[in-house]
Amino acid sequence: MSSSSVSSSKEAKTTVTESVDSLSLNTLVSDTTNSKIPEAETKKLSEIQTIARQANPPTQSSHPSSTAPLENHLKRTSPFDFGSRYLSSTDDVFAWNAWDHVDPSQDSAFVSYANAQYTFQRENAASEFDRKRFNAEPEKWWDKFYGNNAANFFKDRKWLRQEFPVLGLATGVSHAELVRELAAEQGGLSTVDKGLPVINHEEDMPDGPWNTILEIGAGAGNTVFPLISHNRNDHLMIHAVDFSKKAVEVMKRSELYNTKHMIASQWDMASDQLPEGLSPGSVDVIILIFAFSALSPRQWKATLKNIWTLLRPGGEICFRDYGRGDLAQVRFKKGRLLGENFYVRGDGTRVYFFEEDELRRIWSGQLHQAIRDSLVEEEEEAHDRSPDTKDADTQITIAFEIIKLATDRRLLVNRQKQLKMYRCWMQGRFRKPLDTQLS
């Protein structure tokens, strides 16, 4: 199920998801949470809330779903369609918590505001002192984050196996079973689902087995625990790694921590060592969900090299992360910009916002160009002297096949505060070519 259709079906009538003023990391990472907004918070109205109140989202009049009965566009669609709840000119925008495929580029007032914000952020970038402080030991800030927020983590990401069919295969569930299972959870198949051809994802996939998963930047286990709780593959082993040792402790303390199917450990994805217990080519699937964005562009290359080394030929990467223009980016205030599209949050954790073309370049072998584009001028010279994507030691070009890469744009609505928030995420499936030699 696409994450949008998660919210479009069951959660459409629940209390709204993320309030703008509570776009903390915790709520940003979640796609939807059901937390109620404290009354005290509703009283103050910040600048960003004013903008979110005034947002004038574009509507679609010609899409078939806009004239269909509402219950028809609440149900799931194929992976990467990101839901089919289109906002039409006759819809009350506050009738539902979220609308799919809403592109803010057609809301000229919002675009002007966003551009003014980017200019302001550049003119008031983080000081040299802060750039050094927050880039030096990022794990320290993540430790603080997990130390402070230990109780608020768990999200059951039911959409994972729908968006990333390989995770269904790894957990021993065929696509047909998955559709039935998800439909049962939602109270029955919709008319849309009944007419859906059952896709045989096995045919799209290179040969298995899909037993060894590595989740990088696993955090509190928001991905690994749902996978394990639905698992039917006796041979499944998920290595859940994170740079923050506090995050690893949070996972290990969970009552869902199951050593038969998972092992949590500390690892820096940009380091020059592989995680404990994993050798080159030993991993079938790598999950990167809201984790790659925690890196500085200067760490991309080392990370890609590790991923390339760990993944077996034919192995797949499941990727989801923040997209450029997301309201979380627009709202950053002064002193937060560390580099182009790269920020430090109030709690000291870092976040990068990606563009679809940029991700295509990063993963398909044009990493050098992508890094250069992302660096501020004074960094470019140093980068130009560093070796290209072709690794200096092994002479291997790191180029994954892009199976799918898409932008997930959504309008989240806070009915209580009458806010309309433009959110943007990137989602991709990348594969190490089958004919790659193990180095």
Ligand X SMILES: C[S@@+](CC[C@H](N)C(=O)[O-])C[C@H]1O[C@@H](n2cnc3c(N)ncnc32)[C@H](O)[C@@H]1O
CB 92 within 8 A of CB 26: no
Query: Of the two residues 29 and 406, which places its CB atom closer to ligand X in the complex?
Result: 29
Measured from the CB of residue 424, what is the shortest distance to ligand X in angstroms? 16
Which residue, among 41, 35, 2, 1, has the nearest Cα to 18 in the 3D structure?
35
Find the residue with minimal CB distance to ligand X.
Answer: 219
Measured from the CB of residue 203, what is the shortest distance to ligand X in angstroms? 30
Measured from the CB of residue 306, what is the shortest distance to ligand X in angstroms? 10
Measured from the CB of residue 294, what is the shortest distance to ligand X in angstroms? 4
Measured from the CB of residue 70, what is the shortest distance to ligand X in angstroms? 31
CB 66 within 8 A of CB 60: yes
First to last CA, the chain: 36
User: Which residues ranging from 308 to 337 are in contact with ligand X (CB under 6 A)?
Assistant: none
DSSP annotation string for 42-97: HH---HHHHHHHH------SS-GGGTS-GGGGGS--STTS-------TTS-GGGSS
Residue from the set 289, 370, 398, 412 that interacts with ligand X by CB under 6 A: 289
Residue from the set 291, 304, 337, 413 that interacts with ligand X by CB under 6 A: 291
Convert residues 82-121 into a mask of x (bound to ligand X by CB under 6 A) and - (unbound).
----------------------------------------
Judged by CB under 6 A, does residue 244 bind ligand X?
A: yes
- CA 133 → CA 116, 351, 366, distances in Å? 27, 15, 30
Give phi and psi for 284, each to the nearest 5. -90, -35
Bin 401: left if φ > 0, else alpha if -120 < ψ < 50, else beta: beta
Measured from the CB of residue 1, what is the shortest distance to ligand X in angstroms? 17
- CA 41 → CA 19, 86, 355, 416, distances in Å? 9, 30, 32, 11
Which residue, among 89, 1, 2, 8, has the nearest Cα to 411 in the 3D structure?
8
User: Which residues ranging from 12 to 41 are in contact with ligand X (CB under 6 A)?
Assistant: 29
Query: Of the two residues 298 and 417, which places its CB atom closer to ligand X in the complex?
Result: 298
Choose one: 99-107, 261-269, 353-361, 368-376; the region binding ligand X (CB under 6 A): 261-269
Choose one: 3-11, 42-50, 240-248, 327-335; the region binding ligand X (CB under 6 A): 240-248
Residue from the set 168, 219, 323, 428 that interacts with ligand X by CB under 6 A: 219
Judged by CB under 6 A, does residue 294 bind ligand X?
A: yes
CB 174 within 8 A of CB 202: yes
| Residues at the contact surface with ligand X, assessed by CB under 6 A | 29, 138, 142, 216-219, 222, 242-244, 247, 267-270, 289-291, 294-295
